Amino acid sequence: MFKNLPREVYDCIVEQVQKLHLGQDQPCPPCYLKDLYNLSLTSRAWDKAVTVPMYRKVWLLGNEEHSRMPKLKIPGTSRLKLLRRTLRERNALARYVRELHMPEFQALYRSATIEREEIVNLVASLVMACPNLERLVGFHIPYTHSFDRLSHALSTRPKLEERVWLLTNTDVELDEDEEDDPTDGYYHAACDPMERFLELNSNHPRLTTVILHQEQSQPANELTFRAIIGTLRQFPALRQLSISGFSATSFTNLALNSLPPNLHSLRLQNLPGVVDKGLQKFANSSLAMSLESITLVDLELSQLTTISNLLSPHLTQLKRLSLSQHKAPRLPSGISFPDFDSPSVEYIHWELRSQAGPSPALISTFAPGDSPPFPFINHEPISCLATAILASSIKKGLFPSLRKIRAPHDPQGVLQALCKPLATAFLPSDSAFFTSPPRYSSPSIPSISIELDRFSLNTSSDVSRPTTSSARADSAMSSPITAEFPCHIDASKHHLRLPQEAAFTPSRSRLAAQSRLLAARKQPFVSFKVTDPNGVVRINKTITGFLGDLRSNITYDLRPDRNRISSGGYNDGDDEEVNEWITGIGDIAGEWEVVEKGGLGNCRHAMNGRVGRKAVSVEDMF
């Protein structure tokens, strides 16, 4: 029977195996590779069907060294060396390789000290063994404008389709006692950091995705206008571009309006040189007409006219707009109120952190006999003008294609009221709020008190802390995970107390949305009163209301791009503010990954590296 099956049937089965192991929230590459390997041993037909997908996307896993294997200078790299030897000896297999997935080697690189350069050299040698390589996924190192073998190896791959540049300063200090070079007084193009950067990007005609990120410091060799624009214009197939962290002198409005045409996705983050005037000019130019996705993070736009130029019928291809910053844009004097009008936009992320307002007070200021207003002790602030105009434009029907909106800070629920009613705003991961044992916070840590309905709280006294369950691979809902922060439940009063550090997390936004739902359900909507001929009331019933619009096609989204759970405490311990909603460069570089040893995945497979966490790909940035 198997001899007569067409090749498409084999390909379909292999695709389903990939979805079973890698398409879930908790992937298991070891089980995926083991199944493919076992299939390849079944018959020659299966071997032909499995070899190509197994080597097209290579999952390189770290491993504990076996006692019989020779001692290695860098533990955990034996599989890399074996794969490199196989690809060098069998050129036919090497030509199949399109993607190298190496997230565990990123963790190995971050935990190493003096072995970092040797790890980079090993990865570079593997890249050189793959002539048709298109993507290096999960392993990205800082570029210090000095020579490193990995950057050189990637520059020689003509079929490369995505490139991540994490620009930083070199840690090597020049020796002042070193003898002066007699040629120091002359210009050498090979010694110019900008020329080297242009040269490293001169052999990628098929590059479609580029990320340029400058670390927040004072770099000695910061990219110039010519280096940035000259590099980008060397990529005729460029479609997705992310630029972040450059100073006001390195990336300005002029650089923004000199970007190459035909971009589909553009992400601008933390660029003080890009102001409202330059972004308005860009939005009205032909360069922006091809954009399908625009992401603006921490640009601190100050004018509403800038947003109205982005949300306008001029951008006919725009489908996604993400705006994340602290301050709320205002309307310049002498300008009438604009309307946001975009017939093509399908998704909006609207995050103005200043609308979150101050944290609710710990002690109620109301008299003992008065009941505090539901759901918070302190009232939510009034929505800003930008949010009010967006809500008004949606209500007027100026966004006919809008299907999803995500507003982490939605005062008074003005946007939530325009979306489909939600049965609940909580996610499966929020179940830990109601199953964690009571945690009494110290008096020095203020907390938020939120009243909950009885239906949403289980007041069992013998609850235990949840563990990550092993859900089915084809389950529609992911298994519960540990909460983002501990909480305290007062079962007698049905109150949930959260630490003040959690006031700006996605969980806090979901709790605020849920509290608005509960408040709406306490308000009477329709009353039924039936009396008999004698005037005696037989039926007197009131149906409570709801929050939302039943005729709306818009979903109120409360899921972040990526759940980030720290290994301890309420934050990662860094002074730098981390955006909890939008995937950032730190997720790509593995800076905020949780590494657990000896855990179990959904398939009960013992994993040596990350447990239950997907490696963030470059595509997730857009």
Q: Is 401 left (phi over 0), alpha (psi -120 to 50) or beta?
A: alpha
Does 484 score more than 50 pLDDT? no
- Bridge partners of 212? 165, 243
Question: Count of alpha carbons within 13 Å of 213, Cβ hemisphere only?
Answer: 21
Does 198 or 434 have the greater pLDDT score? Answer: 198
pLDDT in tens, 462-482: 333 333 333 333 333 333 333
Answer whether residue 73 is part of any domain: no
Rounded Cα gap, residues 397 and 388, in angstroms: 14
Closest by Cα among 423, 436, 421, 422 to 480: 436
Does 263 score more than 60 pLDDT? yes
Answer whether residue 38 is part of any domain: no
Residues ≥6 apart with Cβ < 8 Å to 521: 453, 544, 545, 546
User: What is the Rg, in whole angstroms, of the alpha carbon atoms belonging to the chain?
Assistant: 28
Distance of CA 233 to the CA centre of its chain: 27
Judgement on whether residues 417 and 433 belong to the same structural domain of the protein: no
Chosen domain end from 210, 228, 261? 261
Does 596 score more than 80 pLDDT? no
Query: Is residue 152 exposed (0-12), middle (13-18) or buried (19+ Cβ within 10 Å)?
Result: middle
Judgement on whether residues 416 and 435 belong to the same structural domain of the protein: no
| Site of tokens 């890399």 | 80
Q: Which of 209-213, 267-271, 424-428 has the lowest mean pLDDT?
A: 424-428
Task: Categorize the per-residue pLDDT at 182 as very low, low, confident or very high, splitting at 50, 70 and 90.
Answer: low
Question: Average per-residue pLDDT in the chain?
Answer: 77
How wide is the angle at C-alpha 355 spanned by C-alphas 352 and 357, nearest 5°? Answer: 140
pLDDT in tens, 272-320: 999 999 999 999 999 999 999 999 999 999 999 999 999 999 999 999 9
Chosen domain end from 203, 233, 261? 261
Rounded Cα gap, residues 425 and 509, in angstroms: 9
Judgement on whether residues 460 and 572 belong to the same structural domain of the protein: no
What percent of the chain clears pLDDT 70, i.e. is strictly above it?
Answer: 71
pLDDT of res. 442: 43
Does 404 score more than 50 pLDDT? yes
Judgement on whether residues 511 and 578 belong to the same structural domain of the protein: no
Residues ≥6 apart with Cβ < 8 Å to 378: 357, 358, 360, 361
Q: Which two tokens stand for residue 332?
A: 């310049």
What is the enclosing helix (H) or strand (E) of 100?
A: strand 99-101
Judgement on whether residues 307 and 321 belong to the same structural domain of the protein: yes
Answer whether residue 370 is part of any domain: no
Answer whether residue 87 is part of any domain: no
- Bridge partners of 323? 296, 350
Cα–Cα distance list, 578 to 261, 458, 504 (Å):
31, 33, 11
Does 357 or 517 have the greater pLDDT score? Answer: 517
Task: Categorize the per-residue pLDDT at 381 as very low, low, confident or very high, splitting at 50, 70 and 90.
Answer: confident
Judgement on whether residues 256 and 311 belong to the same structural domain of the protein: no
Rounded Cα gap, residues 95 and 91, in angstroms: 6
Domain count for the chain: 4
pLDDT of res. 190: 61
DSSP state at residue 322 = E
pLDDT of res. 456: 43
Judgement on whether residues 148 and 214 belong to the same structural domain of the protein: yes
Does 319 or 614 have the greater pLDDT score? Answer: 319
Does 209 score more than 90 pLDDT? yes
Answer whether residue 103 is part of any domain: no
Number of H-type helices and E-type strands within the chain: 17, 20
Answer whether residue 33 is part of any domain: no
Q: What is the DSSP string of 232-254?
A: HTT-TT--EEEEES--TTTS-HH
Does 411 score more than 60 pLDDT? yes
- Mean pLDDT, residues 528-555: 88
Task: Categorize the per-residue pLDDT at 368 as very low, low, confident or very high, splitting at 50, 70 and 90.
Answer: very low
Answer whether residue 111 is part of any domain: no
Q: Which two tokens stand for residue 410?
A: 């939605």
Judgement on whether residues 486 and 612 belong to the same structural domain of the protein: no
Chosen domain end from 236, 261, 286? 261
Q: Do 505 and 455 form a contact (C-beta atoms < 8 A)?
A: no
pLDDT of res. 193: 82
Does 272 or 361 have the greater pLDDT score? Answer: 272
Buried/exposed code over 7-20 (b: 16+ C-beta within 10 A; e: otherwise): eeebeeebeebbeb
Q: Do 498 and 446 form a contact (C-beta atoms < 8 A)?
A: no
Rounded Cα gap, residues 60 and 615, in angstroms: 13
**β-strand 495-499 against 447-451: which pairing, if any?**
antiparallel
Does 363 score more than 90 pLDDT? no
Task: Categorize the per-residue pLDDT at 185 as very low, low, confident or very high, splitting at 50, 70 and 90.
Answer: low
Rounded Cα gap, residues 361 and 365, in angstroms: 8
Does 554 score more than 60 pLDDT? yes
pLDDT of res. 605: 57
Task: Categorize the per-residue pLDDT at 170 as very low, low, confident or very high, splitting at 50, 70 and 90.
Answer: low
pLDDT of res. 433: 59
pLDDT in tens, 55-74: 999 988 776 555 555 555 67
Q: Which of 5-9, 128-132, 185-189 has the lowest mean pLDDT?
A: 185-189
Judgement on whether residues 166 and 287 belong to the same structural domain of the protein: no
Answer whether residue 609 is part of any domain: yes
Judgement on whether residues 244 and 327 belong to the same structural domain of the protein: no
pLDDT of res. 65: 57
Does 576 score more than 50 pLDDT? no
Judgement on whether residues 235 and 321 belong to the same structural domain of the protein: no
- Bridge partners of 606? 600
Domain range for residue 322? Answer: 275-359+375-421+548-558
Judgement on whether residues 280 and 412 belong to the same structural domain of the protein: yes
Closest by Cα among 45, 83, 80, 47 to 62: 80
Does 526 or 365 have the greater pLDDT score? Answer: 526
